[in-house]
Amino acid sequence: MAASTQLVAFTLDDFEARTGSAASIIRTIAGLYLRHEAAPVARTKILALATAAGVSAPTAQTAISRLADRGVLEAAGTSSLQVTAAAHAMFARGDRRIFTPRQMADEELWCLVAYSLPETMRPLRHQVRKHFLQLGGGLVNAGLWIFPGYLREEVLQVLGALEVRSYATVFTTQTPDFPEGAVQAARQWWDLGRLESMHSTFLESTAALDAQPASPAAAYRSYVAMVDAWRALPYLDPGLPDAMLPGNWPGRPSRERFLALSRAYGPGARHFATALLEG
């Protein structure tokens, strides 16, 4: 199981690190900038990127070591680091989720997953549940999950990585016949209260950002913090169709805010990061 364990660890991004923590911020920096470097990056430059994002140097040192322990970064020489191959793949998969978040149309297809694991595989039941939740899956009942159809390939990746594909049947289907209506079904199958709170918090945390940052340094710090605050949301929120969501759902304005601020802050942030890396 050793080989598959590494694959499982990076099937999804890691949301266990608290948003805004040093480990989460530097992980975000790795995904935005470090993975695009052709050569290993000096540890001092990674520290410079971290401190420019508001992380103290001692805290950043500890966080970098933790990310190395988790397989996100690895040593490349005595004083340089690089993003691991597994993390490269994880960040690449995250690009679509984070930067092009989707919302289902009412007529789009659904993906249903029915599975039953024997008692000897009990520990994997927790892993399936954890990964399906982080994919944005809804739990219909024990052993039956529902996802937007466009997440089908990611569902299959999870099942393959956990080596339980032979225990699961995957269906692609039209809109289910909800027993008590679409909105009630969504409330039962997904934690809409948590998702609503996360979207509202993101909107509140970015409310003070101007349409135009004051400087590349300000753009960089704000952009890294914004992406770090946002990156879990498009995983946990599957993008349910409007017919399944309560009124005044904050998901759409949250997505629009992220995309608008990305356009405003992203170029200046990249310019600043590139200058630090090349300096």
Give residue 264's pLDDT: 93
Q: Which helix (H) or strand (E) holds 253?
A: helix 251-278
Residue linked to tokens 């340094």: 217
Q: Per-residue pLDDT tens for 172-193?
A: 999 788 888 999 999 999 999 9
What Rg, from alpha-carbon coordinates, does the chain have?
20
Q: Are 23 and 64 in contact (CB under 8 A)?
A: no
Residue 1: pLDDT band with limits 50, 70, 90 = very low
Structure-model confidence comparison of residues 112 and 6, the more confident one: 112
Give residue 5's pLDDT: 41
Q: Per-residue pLDDT tens for 246-265?
A: 999 999 999 999 999 999 99
Rounded-to-integer distance, Cα 152 and Cα 168, Å: 13
Instruction: Say whether pTM exceeds 0.85.
Output: yes
Residue 266: pLDDT band with limits 50, 70, 90 = very high
- Among the ranges given (203-207, 208-212, 259-263), the one the predictor scored with the smallest mean pLDDT: 208-212
Which percentage of the chain shows pLDDT scores above 70?
A: 94
Give the mean pLDDT of 39-43.
Answer: 96
Give residue 2's pLDDT: 38
The chain-wide mean pLDDT, for the chain, equals 90
Give residue 93's pLDDT: 83
Give residue 6's pLDDT: 41
- Among the ranges given (45-54, 87-96, 178-187), the one the predictor scored with the smallest mean pLDDT: 87-96
Tokens of residue 65, six digits: 């070591």
Rounded-to-integer distance, Cα 8 and Cα 4, Å: 6
Give residue 78's pLDDT: 85
Residue 14: pLDDT band with limits 50, 70, 90 = low
Rounded-to-integer distance, Cα 213 and Cα 206, Å: 13
